[in-house]
């Protein structure tokens, strides 16, 4: 594949990275692929004059040895596609499901969710998210694995913050952007990132795909490759591949086989239990009615209202509305009953809402918003946290993931857990500096998690 992109000549401190580009793959185990196509990528916010270049980024084939039951050798071909629409939906979803197993089904990795991001103009070249998904096929052209991958011209919408890295890289005389990002756009949800179907050579396919990702990054001459919110298993494997490891923190609620919300409250310390009950009473006293709508129960008018709520949140807090109005309609039509929308109504008119997606064993809380001219005390806690807990108990789900940030979640039953990311930085000097920083940061995160658990909201005998 050939890519045309805006590119700045490397500054002297970083030239050694470009001299190493051809040595990333071990010899003797690869063959060149003949596939080619053309994609145009223009990058903005550059402080240097842009130079348009064309790079051949066709990926190499990879030879792998079968299991003891399949002694023959196989060759898998690796290629890059510029849209998920070039991949059959059934093939993508088979890889995503095999990677996570049915009980851990992750709707954000589904073809429906990711294709909606592209088709409605959210994760596309024009917004700084150029899809470059990797596809691995066997000799019969069956897809063995896929990777959601994007060439990015900024660091927005990732929830693993590297803006300071970009500033430091620029101070060294280098260009941090573009970079390669393996993730689900705008979604801080943990899950597998290298999606591989079950087969006897699964580990070798994993190794081949990781090698293809670093090869692609080298051919594009990007500063770095980032894999954000991978599974813990992937995180550990990628350390062996030379990736720097980073940890973060989120707040999750765990279902201890509760039959109802009151059973959950009985596990809380008395003061926390009292506070939650007081907050929930405020909803009725404000003449608000809470509704949980799922699948076909959610009508177009509900999504239009929710989009207005979402824009109120982004306009007042984030400043950038990553998602379009069309996205919510399209995503809902594709995911069906995996979508749960919590609405607060006053006099039968929606005034606030919270969007959740239902996984195999987890409820994922994602977005919240309310009417711009209204304020309802405790409504945010009710819509985002308490309604999610009730839904998880009702659906017999193990976990509620309440999204990024927010220590206020702790006293409402959501405890801190680790999240992961992996970073492959080509410049050796800069990588060393980042690694030293990550050691200090990880120690701090571990310490904070320990303190927050020790002063948690649950009774002493509740873990």
Q: Give mean pLDDT, residues 350-356.
A: 98
- CA distances to 175, 193, 233, 238 from 95, rounded to whole Å, are 34, 11, 17, 19
User: How many Å apart are CA 217 and CA 3, to the nearest integer?
Assistant: 12
pLDDT of residue 374: 86
Percent of the chain with pLDDT over 90: 77
Query: What CATH class has 2-249+419-451?
Result: alpha beta
Q: Give mean pLDDT, residues 407-413.
A: 96
pLDDT of residue 69: 41
Residue ranges per structural domain of the chain = 2-249+419-451, 256-397
- Binned at pLDDT 50, 70 and 90, residue 281 comes out as very high
Q: What is the pLDDT of residues 77-115, one digit of tens each?
A: 999 999 999 999 999 999 999 876 767 899 999 999 999
User: How many Å apart are CA 41 and CA 281, to the nearest integer?
Assistant: 53
- CA distances to 164, 298, 303, 309, 340 from 388, rounded to whole Å, are 34, 17, 19, 18, 9
Q: Give mean pLDDT, residues 26-52.
A: 43
Q: Is pLDDT larger for residue 430 or for residue 463?
A: 430
The SS3 call for residue 348 is coil
Of 224, 223, 230, 267, residue with least CA distance to 246 = 230
**286 pLDDT more than 90:** yes
Q: Give mean pLDDT, residues 443-448.
A: 98
pLDDT of residue 276: 99
CATH code 3.40.630.30 for 256-397: yes
Residue 235's Cβ-count burial label (10 Å; 0-12, 13-18, 19+) is: buried
Q: Is-contact 413 268, C-beta < 8 A?
A: yes
How high is the mean pLDDT of the chain?
88
- Binned at pLDDT 50, 70 and 90, residue 317 comes out as confident
- Binned at pLDDT 50, 70 and 90, residue 338 comes out as very high
pLDDT of residue 66: 59
User: How many Å apart are CA 158 and CA 320, to the nearest integer?
Assistant: 13
**Angle subtended by helix axes 325-335 and 300-313, to nearest 10:** 130
Q: Is-contact 52 6, C-beta < 8 A?
A: yes
Helix, strand, coil proportions of the chain in percent (round to 5)?
40, 25, 30
**Angle subtended by helix axes 111-119 and 325-335, to nearest 10:** 160
Of 280, 251, 278, 273, residue with least CA distance to 344 = 280
**34 pLDDT more than 80:** no
pLDDT of residue 373: 85
Q: Is pLDDT larger for residue 22 or for residue 116?
A: 116
Q: How many residues does the chain have?
A: 463
Of 225, 227, 241, 208, residue with least CA distance to 59 = 208
Q: Do domains 2-249+419-451 and 256-397 have the same CATH topology?
A: yes
- CA distances to 131, 260, 364 from 257, rounded to whole Å, are 41, 9, 18
pLDDT of residue 55: 61
Q: What is the pLDDT of residues 175-201, one digit of tens each?
A: 999 999 999 999 999 999 999 998 888
Query: pTM of the prediction?
Result: 0.88
């Amino acid at each position: 594949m050939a890519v045309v992109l805006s590119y700045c000549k490397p500054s002297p401190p970083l030239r050694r990275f470009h001299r190493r580009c051809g040595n990333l793959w071990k010899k003797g185990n690869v063959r060149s692929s003949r596939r080619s196509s053309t994609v145009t990528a223009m990058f903005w916010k550059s402080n240097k004059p842009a130079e348009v270049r064309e790079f051949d980024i066709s990926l190499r084939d990879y030879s792998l040895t079968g299991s003891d039951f399949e002694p023959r050798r196989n060759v898998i071909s690796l290629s890059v596609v510029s849209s998920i629409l070039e991949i059959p939906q059934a093939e993508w979803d088979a890889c995503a499901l095999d990677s996570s197993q049915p009980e851990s089904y992750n709707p954000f990795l589904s073809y429906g969710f990711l294709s909606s991001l592209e088709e409605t103009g959210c994760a596309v070249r024009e917004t700084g998210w150029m899809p470059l998904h990797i596809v691995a096929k066997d000799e019969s052209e069956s897809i063995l694995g896929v990777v959601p991958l994007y060439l990015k011209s900024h660091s927005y919408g990732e929830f693993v913050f590297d803006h300071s890295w970009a500033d430091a890289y620029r101070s060294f005389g280098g260009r941090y952007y573009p970079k390669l990002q393996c993730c689900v756009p705008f979604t801080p949800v943990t899950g597998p990132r290298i999606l591989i179907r079950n087969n006897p050579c699964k580990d070798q396919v994993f190794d081949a795909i990781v090698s293809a990702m670093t090869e692609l990054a080298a051919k594009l001459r990007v500063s770095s490759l980032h894999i954000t919110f991978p599974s813990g298993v992937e995180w550990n494997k990628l350390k062996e591949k030379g990736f720097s490891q980073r940890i973060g923190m989120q707040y999750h609620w765990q279902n201890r086989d509760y039959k109802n919300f009151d059973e959950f409250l009985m596990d809380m310390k008395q003061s926390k239990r009292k506070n939650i009950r007081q907050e929930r009473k405020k909803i009725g006293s404000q003449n608000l009615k809470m509704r949980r709508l799922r699948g076909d129960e959610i009508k177009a008018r509900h999504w239009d209202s929710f989009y207005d709520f979402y824009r109120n949140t982004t306009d007042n807090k984030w400043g950038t509305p990553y998602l379009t109005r069309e996205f919510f309609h399209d995503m809902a039509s594709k995911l069906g009953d995996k979508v749960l929308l919590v609405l607060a109504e006053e006099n039968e008119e929606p005034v606030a809402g919270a969007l959740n997606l239902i996984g195999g064993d987890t409820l994922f809380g994602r977005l919240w918003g309310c009417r711009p001219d209204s304020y309802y005390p405790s409504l945010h806690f009710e819509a985002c946290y308490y309604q999610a807990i009730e839904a998880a108990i009702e659906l017999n789900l193990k976990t509620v993931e309440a999204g990024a940030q927010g220590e206020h979640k702790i006293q409402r039953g959501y405890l801190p857990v680790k999240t992961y990311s992996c970073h492959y930085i080509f410049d050796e000097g800069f990588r060393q500096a980042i690694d030293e920083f990550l050691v200090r940061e990880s120690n701090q995160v571990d310490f904070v998690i320990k303190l927050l658990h020790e002063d948690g909201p649950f009774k002493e005998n509740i873990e």
